[in-house]
Amino acid sequence: MSVTRKYKVLFLCRENSARSIIAEALLRELAGHRFDAFSAGPEPAARVHPIAITQLRPGISDLGVLSPKSWLEFTGEWAPRMDLVIAMDECVAGHHAPLFPGTPSLSSWIFADPLADGMPEPERGRAFEKVFWQIVRQLSTFIESPQYAAQRKAAASVEAPACISDTL
């Protein structure tokens, strides 16, 4: 039996209470057998935003592991070596993010902030739902991208009998 390496992915967002948390939870749930998902931000909130939890509750099995973290937790010698770091808002994209150990690829998936100041409360719930589904679509494309799907298919052909389908 072959051991398949899991890719380490870090999602960044300013407060790490909504978009990056949603992405971390969804990647862990949808493809945790192939990816280790993390999230962080430069100004972590005191808690995960309650509407983010509401969006995740129906399909996420382990909400208890989600918490806002500082991105500094991922910059030290002892930090896990990321394969990919994904900025989810403009304030953490590009040159604003710290250097992370190893040589992670950097990417930006910019989504509107459902916590934007001045947004009326009834619209906030709709904004969370919209960004949730945008992240689901982006992650689905990411999970099936040739770079990551090829490893899964190769491992499946070695480890799984031909009668078992290769599904997420």
| 64-104 residue pLDDT tens | 888 999 999 999 888 999 999 999 988 777 667 788 888 89
pLDDT computed for residue 3 by the predictor: 56
Give the CATH number of the domain where residue 129 resides.
Answer: 3.40.50.2300
pLDDT computed for residue 149 by the predictor: 57
Q: Examine residue 75 and state whether it is found in any structural domain, yes or no.
A: yes
Q: Examine residue 166 and state whether it is found in any structural domain, yes or no.
A: no
Count of the separate structural domains present in the chain:
1
Sheet holding 7-12, edge to edge: 35-40, 7-12, 84-87, 105-108
pLDDT band of 160, cuts 50, 70, 90: very low
Evaluate the CA torsion angle 135, 138, 141, 142 in order and state its sign: negative
Q: Examine residue 159 and state whether it is found in any structural domain, yes or no.
A: no
Q: Examine residue 77 and state whether it is found in any structural domain, yes or no.
A: yes
Residues in the chain: 168
Q: Examine residue 54 and state whether it is found in any structural domain, yes or no.
A: yes
DSSP conformation class of 70: B
CB atoms within 10 A of CB 141: 9
- Does residue 73 contact residue 94 with C-beta atoms inside 8 Å? no
pTM: 0.83
Q: Examine residue 95 and state whether it is found in any structural domain, yes or no.
A: yes
Range of the domain at 70: 7-153
Q: Examine residue 1 and state whether it is found in any structural domain, yes or no.
A: no
Q: Give the ranges where the chain is alpha helix by DSSP (H).
A: 19-31, 50-56, 121-143, 146-159
pLDDT computed for residue 69 by the predictor: 95
CA distance 26 to 49: 16
DSSP conformation class of 103: -
Q: Examine residue 117 and state whether it is found in any structural domain, yes or no.
A: yes
| 106-145 tens-digit pLDDT | 999 999 899 888 888 788 889 999 999 999 999 999 998 8
CA distance 27 to 7: 11
- Does residue 94 contact residue 65 with C-beta atoms inside 8 Å? no
Percent helix, strand and coil across the chain, each to the nearest 5: 40, 15, 45
